[in-house]
Amino acid sequence: MSGQAVISVEAASVCFKVYKSRRRSLREAMFRSLLRRDELIEVWALREVSFQLNRGESLGIIGDNGAGKSTLCLLLSQIMEPTAGKVTVDGKVSALLTLGAGFQGDLTGRDNIFLNGVYLGFDLGLMRAKFKEIVEFSELEDAIDLPVRTYSNGMRARLAFSIAATIQPEILIIDELMGVGDQKFQKKSRNRMKELISQSKALVVVSHSMPLVQDLCSRVVWIDQGRVVAEGPTDEIVERYKAQG
């Protein structure tokens, strides 16, 4: 694959070790390791996943629930390391993996913009310079000085998206957060993503919305039961995914 790679995933696997246990009392659970009544089992969330994302590309990650998409996002965000294999990221990453991750409910939207910016790795000077743009994009001017705990889920997601999209990260990873807000805001969000792509920013979108993936992404990785089923041009892979029912 030609181009400058910003993300390279080489045979990455993730294994979680969990206890398969019978129902027990809290007292018994506290002494689980001593009682030795539980069976330790391995759950493979990802198995030998490989692909490359080049600068200026937009990649969609699709698959059914439990396929391993969110685990893959954790690897790409460098929040988690693979059990085996290798993940290389060349660039600053901003990840929206959980609705309003990093927000403090008792603080205002204004305070949370600065807090979330630092959480994403950006300095206060940049956040001050971008503050007005973030608020205007979020369309939350009337609520920006209210505690975030008073926000609806849609308002929190809009604020989180506005922060990440306005500070222009080199790599933006979004896990199922594009479907919030009214149609007008969703359209504006899609257009913002296209601007980032045109400015040579890399984008990763995880979504169950095939129209969204087809609109934003040039390539798609389809994951099933932790493995890559197919990878290639968006329309081709989406049609294969839809055909499997």
Going from the N-terminus, what domains does the chain have, and what CATH number goes with each?
A: 5-32+39-243 (3.40.50.300)
Q: Which residue has the higher pLDDT, 153 or 145?
A: 145
Beta strands 171-175 and 93-96, pairing class: parallel
Please list the residues that pair with 224 across neighbouring strands: 227
The pTM of the full predicted model, rounded to 2 decimals, is 0.78
> Strand order of the sheet with strand 171-175?
93-96, 171-175, 202-206, 58-62, 219-224, 227-233
Q: What is the pLDDT of residue 92?
A: 80
CA distance 36 to 93: 42
CA distance 210 to 9: 23
Estimate to the nearest angstrom the gap between the alpha carbon of 166 and the chain centroid. Answer: 17
What confidence tier does 96 reach under pLDDT thresholds 50, 70, 90?
A: confident
95 pLDDT above the threshold of 90: no
Beta strands 58-62 and 171-175, pairing class: unpaired
